[in-house]
Structure 1
Amino acid sequence: MATVIDGPGGGGTLSELYQSAKRVLLRARDGIERLERLESSTAGGGLDSPELSNSIKRDISQIQSLCIEMDRLWRSIAAKSQRDLWKRKVEQVAEEAESLREGLDRYFSRNQKRMMEAKERAELLGRANGENDHVLRIFDDEAQAMQSARNSSRMLEESLQTGVAILSKYSEQRERLKKVQRKALDVLNTVGLSNSVLKLIERRHRVDVWIKYAGMIVTVIILFAFWRWTR
């Protein structure tokens, strides 16, 4: 069945990855709604909640990572009807994650705008009483931190999109190579080459498989290290 295809690292079946992505989507969507309530509430005063916004950013990154793995797995499904079904499901999850990311970016933009407006008000007050330098420095630091968070989020998103594109291209190339290999083996069997030559080809195929997995692992490690660095 298509839904019991395992990932290379034992990360779960396609169905399990999909359910995990849906759970994280619900959590991230709830976080966005909490941010918007905080933003519009009088008590909150439209202030930022860095812990909550960073948690949402991590959830969105996790969803995008799961989409990379699911994108690889659904391409390995033999039945076209099941393959098309899972393709639509994975694309829907990816689109919802992108929508949440855009919502979070809009929140960061609004919050940065509020910070700039507060800074301008503080500057006006500072010119009036000359006692506002410390407040201005605080606003500068917070505005720079918000901009850094937005830049980190954008860089992480671009890295994940690049990873998806690389894995997708590699999967397509692998399928073409497998077809060429099967044809080559048919030709070799027809002309009656020795078993030792066929075994050599099989060993080469296994080496290619290990190279593929090693490349995937290195990609995941790089993305994880980048994510840890931007936290």
Structure 2
Amino acid sequence: MALSVELGGGTLSEIYQSAKKVLLRTRDGLERLERLEHAGGGIDSPDLSISVKRDISQIQSLCTEMDRLWRSVGAKSQRDLWKRKVEQIAEEAQSLKDSLDRYDARNQKRATEARERAELLGRANGDGAHVMRIFDEEAQARDSVRNSARMLEETNATGEAILRKYAEQREFLKRAQRKALDVLNTVGLSNSVLKLIERRNRVDQWIKYAGMILTVVVLFLIWRWRR
């Protein structure tokens, strides 16, 4: 893990080349850690993990030194070029650090889960009857919940049937009401027609009587005129 140049010495180009070499070594080490994790069901390699962490710290130190040196470059074009190169190395180092942090978090999670499983198995082996009693109580609780749900479904079905019956009765009453209104309307129309006929008959009678009286008067006048 030793550097070819110390942080306090070497040119910017030499430090950059050293950082690139350490970066490649770090990436390779992290890939080996991930291969071990996936191939071995979560196998951890503490030595390799520590080595990768040390390499990342070394790259970050080199980036700090390069960040100081590129600012001293005279030509602006060269200064901008070195700035981009240093930023790229720093970003890759940060990305590797994030990947290593995620790897450590997964290892920590696996260790915690393994410890909890061991504690659970220990409690189960030490007090099997207690565990079985817990399972029985949970089973009874589930049965009670299922029975309650079934009763609620039956009650709901009964309520829906009653509501449907009420709806049918309401429709029947509406139809009966419409028929009654039709009958009443028909009766009302018949009464109107009868009244109209009676009134017409009375008018006809008055016309007949008036005609008779008029005829008598005319005959009387003719008789008087001829005398």
CA RMSD of aligned residues (A): 1.9
> Could you tell me how far apart the structure 1 residues matched to 2:52 and 2:95 are?
13
Aligned to 1:120: 116
Letter in 1 for 2:36: L
89, 104, 109: which one aligns with 1:108: 104
Letter in 2 for 1:115: A
User: Does residue 80 in structure 1 map to residue 76 in structure 2?
Assistant: yes
- Deviation for aligned residue 1:48: 1.4
Aligned to 1:24: 22
Aligned to 2:51: 55
Aligned residues: 123
> Could you tell me how far apart the structure 2 residues matched to 1:89 and 1:27 are?
18
Letter in 1 for 2:21: R
21, 37, 40: which one aligns with 2:38: 40
Give runs of ≥4 in structure 1 deviating > 6 Å. Answer: none
Contact 1:7 1:73 in 2 (8 A): no
Q: Provide structure 1 residue ranges, at least 5 long, that are not aligned to the other structure.
A: 1-5, 132-231
- Deviation for aligned residue 1:45: 2.7
Larger Rg: 2
Aligned to 2:182: none
- Deviation for aligned residue 1:120: 1.2
63, 81, 88: which one aligns with 1:92: 88
Aligned to 2:211: none
- In structure 2, the residue corresponding to 1:48 is in which secondary structure? coil
- Deviation for aligned residue 1:125: 0.6
Letter in 2 for 1:14: L
> Could you tell me how far apart the structure 2 residues matched to 1:28 and 1:48 are?
17
Relative to the length of structure 2, the TM-score reads 0.52
Q: Provide structure 2 residue ranges, at least 5 long, that are not aligned to the other structure.
A: 128-227
Letter in 2 for 1:52: L
Q: Percent identity over the alignment? A: 78
Distance 1:78 1:15, change over 3 A: same
